[in-house]
Structure 1
Amino acid sequence: MSLKKLAIAVLVLLGVGGLLAYQLRGRSGVETADGGLPKTLTIASIAYPYKGQQTYAGLTQRIIEQGWLKEQLAKKGVELAFFPVPTAVGGPLINEGFAGKRIDFASYGDFPAIIAASGGVPLKLVVPVGRGQNAYLIVRKGLTANSIADLKGKRIALHRGRPWELPFSKLLDENGLKLADFKILNINPPASHAALASGDVDAVFLLSDAILLEQKGAGRIIWSTKTAPSDWKMRAELFARGDFVDRHPELTQLVADAYIRAAHWSSQPENRAAVIDEAARGDTPVSVVEKDYDEPRVTWRDRFSPLFDDFMVRHYRSVADYTFAQGLVRQKVDVDTLLDRRFAAQALKNLGLEDYWQPTATDSADAKKPGAPRS
């Protein structure tokens, strides 16, 4: 399937998300009769089961455990609800929730958010988070390939329409390749894990779960975004419905404050072990999280930076330009409209953290030539 057919693949995924969207009904911020505050404020986030309960990814879990946001909203008579999104459907289900006004905020990836914004969903990015997440190219056990070029004509599992598709596409472009040069299998991560282990595919493009597959002996990682320009990484931020932000700026500010409180706590060296332990809940061993985080060009503090600095803004301009140039979206997203800087800036002032994080203006010079094999 060509890159220009990605929009069709995304619509198919949206259909899958629609099958689950009923779970969101009744949990959205329904306005009161007098047009005042909503009865419920709903935040969606990727989640997975852990010890019989749902554990949420990233800062969302910390916000739940801190309890501050729930308390602040309760003072205003607003209930806080979290909606767990399975990794198998991810962005498409969140986009469905935003489009149907059944969720108010979501912590999710740049690529599905750009697709939603291009399709007319009035999203606002209200709190950036860190310096991005790494993606990995892993080949099956026994395969001698050492680069993406060595995989030409072979079977690669790639879950289409997910945030890590962008670094994969950029890797192909950098090497003068295109999707048609490979046999692409559009399957979700759990299915691709099994396919790699059984030898049904020659390679898989994944997030940190590729490290676990390598540790289990199912394959060998031959490339990652650790060796590419930093803005090749996928990002996940806090997005909000634009109409909710316009109607309830005071509630939006509370949510922004909560996420930056969580980012500040997570960024402190003494809390590193607890953050890694939270990230390792479920089927992800601590060793996988530690290896994924092992990247000298990203400091621990910057891993949680909420700044709208040049680095972050340039990333979204790059994503908007790239998705439009490749025909992945029909309308180019106006990044200036997407990024709402007001709430993160005010949260930093509210929390006395104006000087805690420093802006990053340029990319790190430590990156190796894009497409080079991992050392």
Structure 2
Amino acid sequence: MNFKKILANVVIVTVTAALFSGCTASKKSTASEQSNGTSSNLPKVVNIGTQQMPNDEKIAITKDYFEKELGVKVKITEFQAGDIRNALVSKDIDFALLGSASATQGIASGIDIETIWIHEVLGDAEQLVVKKNSNINSIQDLKGKKVATPFTTTTHYSLLKALAINGMSEKDVKLLDMQMPDIYAAWQRGDIDAAYAWEPTLSNLLEDGRSIISSKDMASKGFATYNVEVVRREFADKYPDLVTKYVKAVNKAVNLYDENQADAIKMLSVSLKITPQEALKETKGSMWLSAKQQLDPAYFGTSDKKGNLVKSLKDTADFLYKQKKIKTEPSLTTFEKAVNPSFIEKAVK
């Protein structure tokens, strides 16, 4: 009997130890997976804030690349330019598509975000347009005129720079803060004389308008602008794998555009409810970069040596500060910290 009791106790201790060991191993595994943002501790939903633009993100949305890559439910919410930063601050979204001027203001104002992708290097996709029958033929002719654009956006930055290099300031025009749908409505009513707009609104304005200057022109003068993707740093720190997978999804869309343009344009046409011809025209107004191209010193650079995007954002911030759009003059370090090429580096491995 004593032998049986001893044997039984040995079995109990052995089983208990095995269960405890398995539980401990499981906890260690879970902790490790959580720190890596892997599948054991993924969020139920990833929230992506976007805007109505003919770019790689729109293709990725239409093709369901995000859910396929991220492996979780993805909620896409479309915003107007000004509202999307507010959604970041309130943590209603994890990712956001912003113009470089808007991203700059957000970073300089203390929104804890990282820039992880360039959707487009902007060119003819953004232009300052006037009516065909107007007497406005130059920037100087805008004096005293009503000019509309969404404030703290790439078009706003380009407009203010265009005024500045022509010896003018925003005080020389009647500058109106309007979102794209409102700009088009005001244009049709004849309430504005000019508008600095992006696609697809731009094409609507050009039906009875003509261009005075484009963001391609401004880039040639040293004032390049971009549409970029930012992510909340808190989210990126917790789920770095998901951020890398976001990059993989948009890079997949860029590759589709490069390798099968007809299919990519079809996706944009369906998503934006425009003809394939219009979609193609709109995409030609900007330059798309693959993940490998984005690691060039002209753009992100690498984690070891960051590229010109840092300086471009800092230059934009300096200008916005002088225009009193930013309260505190930001340091270069602020933007070095906010530009993160590591997710692109991981995506191309």
Q: Residues 166-198 of structure 1: CA distance to partner in whole angstroms, max 9, x if unpaired?
A: 110110111010111112232322222232233
Q: TM-score, normalised by structure 1?
A: 0.70
Q: Which has the higher helix share?
A: 2
Give the drift of 1:82: 2.5
Question: Residue 46 and residue 130 in structure 1: after superposition, are their counterparts in 2 closer, same or farther (change >3 A)?
Answer: closer
Q: Which amino acid aligns with 1:84?
A: T
Asked if the contact 2:128/2:195 (under 8 Å) is kept, the reply is yes
TM-aligned CA distance change 1:187 to 1:127, over 3 Å: closer
1:227 is aligned to 217
Once the 2 structures are TM-superposed, how far is the Cα of residue 308 of structure 1 from its aligned partner?
5.3
Report the Cα offset of residue 112 of structure 1: 1.8
Equivalent AA in structure 2 for residue 310 of structure 1: A
TM-score in terms of structure 2 length = 0.74
Q: What secondary structure, in the 3-state scheme, does the structure 2 residue paired with 1:236 have?
A: strand
Distance of 1:274 and 1:254 partners within structure 2:
22
Shift of 1:155: 1.7
The equivalent residue for 2:67 is 70
Aligned to 1:319: 316
Q: CA RMSD in A?
A: 2.9
Taking the TM superposition and a 5 Å limit, the aligned residue runs for 1:171-210 are 171-208=162-199, 209-210=201-202
Q: Could you tell me which amino acid in structure 2 is paired with residue 111 of structure 1?
A: A
- The answer (yes or no) to whether the contact 1:137–1:222 under 8 Å persists in 2 is yes
Q: Does 2:267 correspond to 1:247?
A: no
Which of 267, 274, 279 in structure 1 is aligned with 2:268?
279
Unaligned runs of 5+ in 1: 1-31, 48-55, 350-375
Structure 2 gaps of 5+ residues are 1-36, 300-307
Corresponding position of 2:86: 96
**Cα distance in structure 2, aligned partners of 1:100 and 1:227:** 36
Partner of 1:38: 43
What residue identity is the alignment partner of 1:212? Answer: N
**Could you tell me whether the CA contact under 8 Å between 2:256 and 2:263 is conserved in 1?**
no
Task: Select the residue among 46, 64, 81 that pairs with 2:74.
Answer: 81
Q: 2:297 aligns with which of 266, 286, 309?
A: 309
Larger radius of gyration: 2
Pair 62,214 (structure 1): closer, same or farther in 2 beyond 3 Å: closer
Map Cα deviations across residues 98-118 of structure 1 (whole Å, 9 max, x no partner): 212222112222222222222
**Residues 145, 174 of structure 2: 8 Å contact kept:** yes
Give runs of aligned pairs for residues 287-366 of structure 1, distance below 5 A.
287-294=277-284, 305-307=293-295, 309-311=297-299, 312-313=308-309, 314-331=311-328, 332=330, 334-349=334-349
Distance across 1 between alignment mates of 2:261 and 2:41? 41
Matched residue count: 295
- Aligned-pair distance for 1:347? 0.8
- Aligned with 1:310: secondary structure? coil
Q: Give the AA of the match of 1:239.
A: V
In structure 1, distance between residues paired with 2:184 and 2:91: 34
The one-letter amino acid paired with 1:40 is V
How far residue 294 of structure 1 moved from its aligned partner, in angstroms, is 4.6
Q: Distance in 1 between matches of 2:110 and 2:287?
A: 36
Query: For the structure 1 residues 303 and 190, does the alpha-carbon distance in structure 2 shift closer, same or farther, using more than 3 Å as the test?
Result: farther
Give the equivalent residue in structure 2 for 1:166: 157
